[in-house]
Amino acid sequence: MAEVVCKPTRESFGIALCEMAKTNKDIVVLDADLAAATKTSIFQKEFPERFFDCGIAEANMVGTAAGLAAAGKIPVAASFAMFSAGRAYEQIRNSVAYPELNVKIAGSHAGISTGEDGATHQCLEDIALMRTLPGMVVLNPADHFEMMEATKAAINHVGPVYIRLGRLAIDSFNDPDTYKFELGKGITLHEGNDIAVIASGLVVNEARKAVNALESEGINARLINIHTIKPIDREIVIKAAKECGQIITVEEHNIIGGLADAVCEVTSSECPVKVTRVGVQDRFGYSGPAWELLEKFGLTENNIGKVIREVVNNK
């Protein structure tokens, strides 16, 4: 097993951008007065001439990014998910997605794990918003190594991409020597046919721990990491539905509009099976330390394991 790296994915994103920018001179980065928090500050330090702080003005930041892309640049526009995907949603729709411009939107501090800042900053709807836009690629990487590769893939993909970044430092679980990121392809982390657990983002590692622990109880769950929520890997979802019979989705997002719906959209037409949705149950969050909130909202190993056990036993 490779060494565990404990980093927030926002930092991995900043590091990866810097690496890409060394050889790709078209990359420019915009932020809205949150560079230190989104970690675009890492890029800013190394490439100050290609970094633009737009101030607390997200609508203009996204529109400016669209103009830069129309003139041949590869702009990355970053803010908290609440303000990039949320506040500037319509700019993303009309000025980026509709003209299919090569803009990368980064949404940091996404999910309940934003913690103490509370409900106004815990964006639980960004994936739903971005997923409905035609042509938008939606990425939600799960650890440091995946974020590094996903960032590179986002830059290399020609067209609009939304990439979700977390605030919380989390342990890596992927092995950088063998890890391979393929846009639109899910990754099976654990084989099993008793149930399929499909997870995305920060909670993948929690699901992994739960699935591993259940082995001793004789439950063999299949665990699939969906880093690309759009376009979703239909093949891996259909195969899981057919071979496992039931699915549990796990996400740090509202159960409406995110991974759960993306999975259900595939199964409902291809292979209808029962889908149990672990996520934020259509409500707002509140202030608190990140891990306490994740526990409260049922997004840690304990609750995920409990849900898997219940679903398998009632099958």
Partner 1 sequence: MADNAQLRLLAAKARLGAIIGTYHAKSGHPGGSLSAADVFTYLYFNEMNVNPENPDDENRDRFVLSKGHCCPSLYAVLALKGFFDWDELKVLRHVGAMLQGHPDMKNTPGIDMSTGSLGQGVSAACGMALAGKLDQKDYRVYTVLGDGECEEGEVWEAAMFAAHHNLDNIVFIVDQNGLQIDGTVEEVAGLEPLDKKFEAFGFEVAKIDGHNFDEIAEAFNKARETKGVPFAILMQTTKGKGVSFMEDQVGWHGKACNDDEYKVAVKELEDEIARLEAEL
Question: Phi, psi at residue 51, to the nearest 5°?
Answer: -115, 135
For position 132 contacting partner 1 by CB under 8 A, the verdict is no
70 binds partner 1 (CB under 8 A): yes
Residue 75 engages partner 1 in binding (rule: CB under 8 A):
yes
Which of residues 73 and 185 has its CB atom nearest to partner 1 in the complex?
73
The residue within the footprint of partner 1, chosen from 65, 248, 255, 260 (CB under 8 A), is: 65
For residue 92, what is the DSSP state?
A: I
CB of 142 to partner 1, least distance (A): 32
Question: Does the protein bind partner 1 through residue 119 (CB under 8 A)?
Answer: no
Selected catalytic residue, list 11, 19, 49, 58: 58
Sign of CA dihedral 286, 32, 136, 133: positive
Q: Are 102 and 72 in contact (CB under 8 A)?
A: no
Residue 59 interacts with partner 1 (CB under 8 A)?
Answer: yes
| Cα–Cα–Cα angle for 107, 112, 116, rounded to 5 degrees | 100
Are the C-beta atoms of 208 and 190 separated by less than 8 Å? Answer: yes
Q: By CB under 8 A, tell whether 62 contacts partner 1.
A: yes
Under rule CB under 8 A, residue 81 binds partner 1: no
Instruction: Check the CA dihedral 163-148-150-17 and report its sign.
Output: positive
295 near partner 1, rule: CB under 8 A: no
Chosen residue from 6, 24, 45, 90 binding partner 1 by CB under 8 A:
90
| Interaction between residue 66 and partner 1 (CB under 8 A) | yes
The Cβ-side half-sphere exposure at 9, using a 13 Å CA radius, reads 31
| 122 contributes a contact to partner 1 by CB under 8 A | no
Look up 146 and say whether it is catalytic.
Answer: no
Q: How far is the CB of 160 from partner 1 (least distance, A)?
A: 13
Distance between CA atoms of 167 and 39, rounded to whole angstroms? 10
Stretch that binds partner 1, among 34-42, 98-106, 121-129, 243-251 (CB under 8 A): 98-106
Spatial separation of the C-alpha atoms in residues 92 and 284, rounded to whole Å:
24
Cα distances from 48 to residues 40, 108, 189, 289, in angstroms, run 11, 21, 39, 34
Instruction: Give catalytic residue positions.
Output: 58
Residues within the interface to partner 1 (CB under 8 A): 28, 49-50, 52, 54-55, 57, 59-73, 75, 90-91, 94-95, 98-100
